Amino acid sequence: DQHLGQRPDGSLVTGNDPRDTSATSDPAFVQAWLNHLVDHYGKANAGGVAFYGLDNEPELWSSTHRDVRPQHLGYDELASRGQQYASAVKAVDAGARTLGPSSWGWTAYFYSDLDTAPGGAWWEDPKDREAHGGTPLAEWYLQQMRAWEQQHGQRILDYFDEPFESQTAPCC
């Protein structure tokens, strides 16, 4: 049974051109898609799409999506992307609600993918977290979203979405 992103011999697919399987998506692309949704379904306050997730498990992109995103994600990029995409949503449909960052689990509340990338006892020297005053990732993310709101006069993050997924195997 072959897994996605693996060759038949089990080795990982790496070094490929991301455009082989995926299209570039930036805030302008997202706004065009949102305009289509609004044209088709109406604005959020008129029965259209009410919620937009800013992404899903961004701390895992370098492993789950290594064919298009092999780089490790850090504090700064996570906040910047959240601000860019959430403000793009609000520019098209101010009544829509955003939620993020939708991390993968407990560790991501406190550390970035850049922190965990070295492996080993990475928690003893989490360089990305230390570069951000030792502030846990989730707390720092909220601070950055609030700072954007204060600077621009518009709330862009409506719901702090941090699911918890147990790291234990199912029982029985």
55-68 tens-digit pLDDT: 889 998 888 887 78
**Phi, psi (5° rounding) for residue 45?**
-75, 0
Residue whose structure tokens are 């011999």: 9
Contact (Cβ atoms closer than 8 angstroms) between residue 50 and residue 97: yes
CA distances from 6 to 70, 94, 171 (A): 14, 42, 28
Single pTM value for the model: 0.87
β-partners of residue 142 are none
Tens digit of each residue's pLDDT (9 = 90 or more) over 121-140:
999 999 999 999 999 999 99
Other C-beta atoms within 10 Å of 63: how many? Answer: 15
